[in-house]
Amino acid sequence: MTCCTWLNKKYSQLCLCVAFFFMSSPMILNAQAVPSEPPSNIVPLESAIFTTLRPLSDLNEDGYTELLAGGVDGNLKLISVNPKETGEYLDFPKWPQFLDAPLTGGIKTIGKGHKTVIVATTSGESQYFFNRNGRNICNMQFQKTPGSEWQVYETGEGSVNMTIPGKDHIHVVSVSDGNVACFEPIKAKEPPIGDSILIPGGLLGYKTKNGRVYVTDMEGNPLKGWPKTTSSSNDSWGYNMGSADVAGDGGSVIYTTTASNQFIMWDLEGNELKKFNISSPAFPAPTFEDVDGNGITDVIIAQKSGEVMVCNLDGKPLKGWPYRGSGSILHQPKFIDIDGDGHKDLVFVTSRQGGQGRLVALDRNGKTLSGYPKDLGQTYSNPVFSDINNDGYMEIILASIKNEEPHIHVFPTKAKSRIRMVTLGHELVLE
């Protein structure tokens, strides 16, 4: 049973939801065997999945990592990619977990091994926390804002903090050693939209539907120089913000795109550092990487029009960019070498009318890689990289509906496993 104790402190209250994990079954181990066959490249499903898949563990020691998926039928599912038993586990201990509403709000996995914490968000007002054995740790009840997901940040002290905005509050949770601590919700100055972010130094950031950008302390008090007003948004996705140490000096900058098709960057005092125009709306927060390998940080902006702009901090495009595709890009591109040539590539999904998706991969010069794009059918899933068969190379995993049949795609790559994919200032995917 979950034990929740309210602790009064000077600056915050913590609801400590402590779970005790028992290694009750010999099958809950980390298998190291390399299977003789590659994973199935098409995995059939019982119902559609509109969330990003998450690798969990090799729970049954068959050499293949099981996947977690949230179905529109309300089931948190465990999926096998073993070609000998491909599909959903319907009778695995504690799996599937039937929740109160369709799982369209996202899934996260935090930590490794038997201390993994799973976070599942439904279309209703429920946030569920499980361990990898399916034991319920604790739940939270609130309606998240449209287009938002839990954003995950390492603290450097062995724990992970997460944040997500609700209707009138910003929610923050800490996960450490398999335990979950729920901070008292932080009152937002205005109704937020899109993702909230955590900023080094104990700061919080969020945007509002009328275009204001807030940077506050953890009690919700705006810092001097904030909020900043940008153009208002009528889109349910919002225009996400981010923070990063762009200069490499330990300081943070704040940045966002706007409804008037601009990129803006400020320092923590609210001073405008950069501002330039982009060609179309960009819902995901921009990311920062050295794309061309010259040692200088570049900006990656994925847009609703299907365009990907890679430019310097003044908005000047790099050689070969922008890439102009078709279909909206609703998630940040991944930056990883998938063809094994020693240079990182950009990988992302585009969605056309009715959610018809394509998996696109570009080299550092904006050229499409051989074998791409790949038609996916209807998808709202963001690609995930994981070595799910222990062969030393990562696969790309995502869900879709093709020919009216829901299933999971598994695409092989030449990306070596055990590579930390860290996008500066953004979510860490812990596998």
User: How do residues 183-231 score in pLDDT, each as one tens digit?
Assistant: 999 999 999 999 999 999 999 999 998 899 999 999 999 999 999 999 8
Per-run averaged pLDDT (10 residues), the chain, 431 residues: 33 36 32 62 86 92 93 92 87 89 90 91 90 94 89 88 95 95 96 95 94 96 97 76 93 96 98 97 96 94 97 97 94 96 96 86 98 92 92 93 87 81 43 38
* Tokens representing residue 28 in the block: 């809950």
Q: If you search the block for the tokens 């599937």, which residue do you land on?
A: 96
The pLDDT, as a whole number, for residue 216 is 98
Residue identified by tokens 């038609």 is 375
* Predicted local distance difference test score (pLDDT) of residue 236: 67
Give me the pLDDT at residue 39, please.
Answer: 83
Q: What is the pLDDT of residue 17?
A: 37
Q: Which pLDDT value is given to residue 23?
A: 31
Per the CB < 8 A criterion, the answer to whether 174 and 183 are in contact is yes
Instruction: Round to whole Å and give the CA distance between 262 and 278.
Output: 5
The predicted pLDDT at position 146 comes to 80
What's the whole-model pTM score?
Answer: 0.86
Peptide bond into 102 cis (omega under 30): no
Question: What domains can you pick out in the chain, each with its CATH number?
Answer: 142-277 (2.130.10.10)
DSSP 364-416: TTSPBPTT--EEEEE--PPPEEE-TTSSSEEEEEEEEEETTEEEEEEEEEEEE
Question: CB count, 10 Å around CB of 384?
Answer: 20
- The per-residue pLDDT for 136 is 95
Q: Which is nearest to 380 in space by CA: 407, 357, 397? A: 357
